[in-house]
Structure 1
Amino acid sequence: MKNIFGVLLLVFSFVTGYSQSDDNPAVWTYEVQKDSDAEYTLKIKADIHEGWHIYSQFTDENGSLPSEFTFEKAGEDYELVGTTSESATLTEYSEIFEVNETFFKDRAVFTQKIKLLNPEVTQVSIGLFYQICKEVCIPKDEVFHISLTGEKAVVIEETVDERSAQMSADMVLNLKNKDQLAQAREGVMEEKSGLWTIFVLGFLGGLIALLTPCVFPMIPLTVSFFTKQGGNKSKGIANALLYGFFIVVIYFLLSLPFHLFDSVDSQILNTIATNVWLNLFFFIIFIFFAFSFFGYYELTLPSSWANKMDSASSKVGGAFGIFFMAVTLAIVSFSCTGPILGGLLGSTALSDGDVATNLSAGMIGFGVALALPFGLFALFPAWLNSLPKSGGWMTTVKVTLGFLELVLAFKFLSNADLVGNWGLFKRELFLGVWILLFVLLTLYLFGIFRFPHDGPKKPLSKGRKIVGLASAGFAIYLILGLSNVTNLKLLSGFPPPDFYSLVETESDCPLGIDCFKDFDKGLAYAKEVNKPILLDFTGWACVNCRKMEETVWSEPDIYPILKDEYVLISLYIDDRKELPEAQQFSFKYESGRVKEIKTVGEKWGTFQTLNFNAASQPYYVLLSPELEVLNTAVQYTDRDTYKEWLQKGVSNFKQLGQLK
């Protein structure tokens, strides 16, 4: 479990040492030595910036990722003589992974001997994957095209076969009036609103963290320390406010690695919501978090971290000392805040938009809530007398959070099932699990059963009864939704869609509307019936897609327009179902990069980017059967805007018919 937890710690590692000047913290060069007519020695060298390190090929596999070479056409054009040797390395014990790790500092040299099998070969291409680290670890790829003749190496352009070239060409639509797409409503207001929503969620998470036994008892102690410091009240207040400010800064810094990973690959974070294995990983981790809140084990960072930070705060003093005190708080409170932060990461992963930006907004909200009492009680110390005493109520808070962690865990399991097309965790099972969890929470809150770490049984408090009734009410709401007595619009986007059911339905499309999941088939049908097309770029794990379908599409004045006036083509970008072998191909971009199209989602994701220069979902486009763009593209929006947009598309289509 510690190794799994170590991976999470790397993700949430501090990045205070990273700067813009370290964008390329290793400079790579190579040299060639000719040993005979057919044998060569290749040396690949890295000059590593101060403070950074690169891991050896032979570092312990249970620790950080090792460097890995790929020798293209080895065994075909040439053979490797021996293994790739390395220059001198350093070894250091990792407290995170609990293994000895081997790495380079300042300089790394890799040496490989090769023997040509084809005398006409004049250059070799070598790929290198490696991690370079300085508090944060950045994965990187390098490709070396090494000339064996002393001349300039040439990058050999990738080619695709004739069938792939034709299938790639067929992906490009001959759109008319395409300039209208440039006027698309990009959902700026929705994005801003979304950021505020994530900020508020983070703030609420911080408020909840304040009520846990790891944080709450520290409030009066810390505030008293500052307000009595040196007998100077104004200085104590200033220091307490600075302490709160540093708490916000620290939690913001925890989100920065995600921006760095995003700069390596702009889509790397968005895959969290659509990758089957990552969703399963999150499912396991959130169950792990939940049982820590139930009291079966404790999540702690290495005690040496807290000791070092505490020691640094007393030695340095001043503003830097206060900063290290804030870091100490973050470390010692991690057993309670860690699972909440994990929930915040999960919430941003399930949301649409820029995951890294969302996470920063959430982390700032969390830090503000956590810092707020330290500033307020420093300004108004008399308020400390009104704080409730620590006690068993904090255990109740932790257990309640544990049940909520389980609720979120099963959302990730549902994502994996939907995206993987397993058909195992249908809507009824999902709702049944949630009902069971909220029933168990209700029984716990009313004292029907207890956990091993609970204290002596006491009369139920008023707050516990209120939360218990709320939990029971929500369980009843879910039961009514499962029984189709009421709809579950308040939960739109979280349960699987209605058509993903144990009961066989007439249609596997949203709301039972007839739809096509293949563009060419939908286009042919639109031409046959002479109706405009609603092109719906969607995803199984897309929360806002489900919200649009269940809260906007279902409206009585919108549903008939979708059902009767349009041909609906829904293309699932995250569908991991493999295409039939005859439909798999290699797509070549203008840049020369070749992408293998093997799954349904890869095909439609490339199709969306290629034709509409967009990669987000939901993304809606109105087209005529002759591929005229009928209106601007829209994304997640409100019902009135969407209705007006649909009606204008129908009107524009009719006008085109009159002109013809």
Structure 2
Amino acid sequence: MLRSKTVFLALLLVLSAALGAAAQVLTPTKLSSALSQPAAKVGEEIDLIVNATIDDKWHLYATDFDPDLGPTAFTFTFTKSPAYELVGKPKSINSKKKFDDVFKGDITYFEKTGQIRQRIRVLQPGALTVQAAVEYQTCTDIDGRCIPGEETLKFGPLTVSGTAAPATTPSKTPQAGAPTGAVVAPGAPPTSAVVPSSNDSATTASAAVTTPPATTLGTEPASDQATVAPTVPTPTVTQDADPGKDGLLAFAFGAFLFGLGALITPCVFPLIPMTVSFFTSGSDSRPRGILKATVYGLSIIFIYVVVGLLVTVLLGADGLNLISTHWLPNLIFFVVFVAFGLSFLGLFEITLPHGMVNKIDAQADKGGWGGVFFMALTLVLVSFSCTGPIVATILTMAAQGQRLTPIIGMLGFSLAFALPFTLFAIFPAWLKSLPRSGGWLNTVKVVLGFVELMLALKFLSMADLAYHWNLLPRDIYLVLWIALSGLLGFYLLGRFKLSHDSDLPHLSVGRLLMAVLAFSFMTYLIPGLFGAPLPLLAGYLPPQTSRDFTLAATGLPTTAAVAAPNTLCETPRYAEFLELPHGLQGYFDLEQAKRCARAQNKPIFIDFTGHACVNCRKMEATVWSNPQVLKRLREDYVVVALYVDDKADLPTTEHYTSKHDGKLKTTLGKKNADLQLTGFNVNAQPFYVLLDPNAPADLQHTLATPIAYEPDAEAFVRFLDAGLASYRQQAQPVATR
């Protein structure tokens, strides 16, 4: 009886392991193809449409960001054909955009649903079917896994009528056959009629072409049915992806806070009681005075929103994208922000031409409802020397986002800016509670000046990184911020005065608290000089690619300082552009690692990783850096990092066709992704394998159960120790023979 129970439990364990292995193949993104119209004439342009359905909590990277950042952008490679030519580059429809702290740059992505369009021009009559190979990547922020995908999509057949036309000049129009996936501004309006292609089966990602979907722990089972198009093409209406309402609301709230800050500047604060008294005195009745004050406030909002609208219309989506990425606008913004900062510090005054202001003020003196509007316009112009830099800051930040952000930013700013004038007109008794004007207003202006100078460095840094000038590396950037925040702290303590400052007989509690914040910020920055990542400021600092200051230079212990001498058996392939963290030495090619491991009689530590893998970087930063983990990796294992998303081309002699999906593997990333999938039926990273170098080439003979993301350093140590013990146990009989 006991024996039968043991056999039964063993069978259960084997079955559970098999199910668990199958469940590792994830297909979070399902793609389908469509045409924007079922028929066209020769010379006409149509859209090839890729619709994506993305699992909850996952995101698909779009086309419109710098592919060199790290994540794999959605890329097409079209089959060459004289029947059509490409027009422009792929466009992601309403993709979301954010700054990624890991990759130190702006990325775009889809959640839940997404759509990418490629326009073509048809050149020959007949039935046209376009074929394209696509590559993409889907990741989740829940546990950091990233899944690479590649498929072949077919668009059509498209009925083309007319007579053949010559193709346009290749220099102007991309030809079919080249990979496309360039940076373009999102948000192009989609064509409403979408005709599904006759082959519109949602071909799954290459990581699961031959494997039926299965459930994993804590997830819902994926559908095992491909999305089959109807026999008769039926037009449907596309739905754009969510444009990111949460981001717009957060930006609007930030702009609102900027508006409140503008109210306590020397150019604006004294005008509040003067303006309010105009509406609460005179021959107008109280209700009419309140109505005029409301119109006054709405006029302020209208003026600023028009400014935001003009920025959007004049620049457009491409212009906003240019501002956020090109070196020249960023260099101009740097100069402008330095000028604004020095103006706030009192070096000079920025004002609009007096003639223009006087003409607007004369219109306000005429009275009536038109006069109320021109009063609001006069306030906007008179306060420009203080509000101009703040408005410019908001519009510059808006240029990093969507086309609506300049309008939303100006709406939030103007709402806060106009609110006091209206409220104090309705409740004039509140004016008594306002503090009196005085030297504290200039203090606010000086604080804003220091902030403007610190923000200016961000724009210089972006231009510096774009052209590799190396004028502002991370250390110099931090030194300047430390100096500016320190000077601000000493200024608030009254240790020095500027030209427009009043005498400071005593230190107020508010001023003291602001000084504490300035010195606290300065103290937080200092460890960054010695390699601290400073995650709270990741979006504003240059990447940690080089540092003049290191812990090693100070004599303090650091993982890089205790790196072992060179123990490699041969020069690693791909070491010119790939490296291991913490001074570790190892390989990026499995066969090299195997040869060295056999020579040194060590097991292999395989790190299936990716440039776009967030949790891979977290593991390296928090777990691999543990002294016990690092010691074992350095001394007990031969380490090999296999990047599954690297685009480096393999030598032609190393190209091969995968037994798993039947596709030709031509890049380092595709080879490594295929190794992981065929060897372990897993397509997510990070994934760690301990391998006996003398085991068969099928990778199935592991020394311990492979693990994925494991933030517990002690558990990772136990994993490494278990693999080492298993290797030594297997090697013992060989040694005693």
Aligned partners of 1:330 and 1:237: how far apart in 2? 20
Query: Unpaired runs of 5+ in structure 2?
Result: 1-164, 183-201, 208-226, 228-238, 551-559, 564-574, 593-604, 630-638, 648-667, 689-698, 701-737
The correspondence for 2:363, drawn from 266, 291, 312, is 312
Count, aligned residues: 408
Q: Is 2:411 the counterpart of 1:364?
A: yes
TM-score (norm 1): 0.53
The correspondence for 2:266, drawn from 213, 221, 226, is 213
Aligned partners of 1:442 and 1:362: how far apart in 2? 30
Match of 1:169 in 2: 178
Alignment of 1:17-416 (within 5 A): 157-160=168-171, 169=178, 177=204, 188=242, 191-263=244-316, 266-315=317-366, 317-318=368-369, 320-349=370-399, 351=400, 353-354=401-402, 356-416=403-463
1:69-125, CA deviations, whole angstroms, 9 ceiling, x for partnerless residues? xxxxxxxxxxxxxxxxxxxxxxxxxxxxxxxxxxxxxxxxxxxxxxxxxxxxxxxxx
Aligned partners of 1:536 and 1:330: how far apart in 2? 46
The correspondence for 1:491, drawn from 514, 537, 545, is 537
Q: Which of 1 and 2 has greater Rg?
A: 2
The question of whether the paired residues in 1 share the 8 Å contact of 2:304 and 2:410 is answered with: yes
Shift in Å, 1:377: 1.2
Shift in Å, 1:461: 2.0
Shift in Å, 1:315: 2.6
Shift in Å, 1:449: 1.4
Aligned partners of 2:578 and 2:447: how far apart in 1? 36
1:358-400, CA deviations, whole angstroms, 9 ceiling, x for partnerless residues? 2222211110110111122122211100000000000000111
The question of whether the paired residues in 1 share the 8 Å contact of 2:606 and 2:640 is answered with: no
Q: Aligned Cα RMSD in Å?
A: 4.8
Query: Unpaired runs of 5+ in structure 1?
Result: 1-153, 515-520, 538-544, 572-621, 632-644, 652-656
TM-score (norm 2): 0.48
The question of whether the paired residues in 1 share the 8 Å contact of 2:610 and 2:685 is answered with: no
Aligned partners of 1:367 and 1:509: how far apart in 2? 49
CA 1:290 to 1:532, structure 2 compared with 1: closer, same or farther past 3 Å?
Answer: same
Shift in Å, 1:434: 0.3
The question of whether the paired residues in 2 share the 8 Å contact of 1:532 and 1:624 is answered with: no
Aligned partners of 2:420 and 2:489: how far apart in 1? 30
Aligned partners of 2:452 and 2:468: how far apart in 1? 25
Aligned partners of 2:394 and 2:305: how far apart in 1? 13
Aligned partners of 2:619 and 2:295: how far apart in 1? 46
1:46-67, CA deviations, whole angstroms, 9 ceiling, x for partnerless residues? xxxxxxxxxxxxxxxxxxxxxx
The question of whether the paired residues in 2 share the 8 Å contact of 1:533 and 1:625 is answered with: no
CA 1:165 to 1:503, structure 2 compared with 1: closer, same or farther past 3 Å?
Answer: farther
Shift in Å, 1:210: 0.4
Shift in Å, 1:262: 4.0
What is the identity, as a one-letter code, of the residue corresponding to 1:413? L
Aligned partners of 2:412 and 2:307: how far apart in 1? 13
The correspondence for 2:510, drawn from 463, 466, 477, is 463
CA 1:491 to 1:170, structure 2 compared with 1: closer, same or farther past 3 Å?
Answer: closer
The question of whether the paired residues in 1 share the 8 Å contact of 2:606 and 2:642 is answered with: no
The question of whether the paired residues in 1 share the 8 Å contact of 2:529 and 2:549 is answered with: no
Match of 1:567 in 2: 643
Aligned partners of 2:616 and 2:265: how far apart in 1? 38
What is the identity, as a one-letter code, of the residue corresponding to 2:339? F
The question of whether the paired residues in 2 share the 8 Å contact of 1:536 and 1:570 is answered with: no
Richer in helix (by share): 1
Match of 2:656 in 1: none
Aligned partners of 2:306 and 2:172: how far apart in 1? 47
Aligned partners of 2:454 and 2:349: how far apart in 1? 20
Aligned partners of 2:376 and 2:579: how far apart in 1? 49
Identity of paired residues, percent?
Answer: 37
Aligned partners of 1:626 and 1:384: how far apart in 2? 70
CA 1:370 to 1:270, structure 2 compared with 1: closer, same or farther past 3 Å?
Answer: same
Aligned partners of 1:496 and 1:237: how far apart in 2? 51
1:385-443, CA deviations, whole angstroms, 9 ceiling, x for partnerless residues? 00000000000001110000000011111111111112232111111110000011111
Aligned partners of 2:432 and 2:283: how far apart in 1? 22
CA 1:308 to 1:556, structure 2 compared with 1: closer, same or farther past 3 Å?
Answer: farther
User: SS of 1:315's equivalent?
Assistant: coil
Aligned partners of 2:270 and 2:608: how far apart in 1? 63
Aligned partners of 2:382 and 2:288: how far apart in 1? 26
Aligned partners of 1:245 and 1:473: how far apart in 2? 40
Alignment of 1:410-429 (within 5 A): 410-429=457-476
1:451-491, CA deviations, whole angstroms, 9 ceiling, x for partnerless residues? 1222234322221111111101110111133234x541111
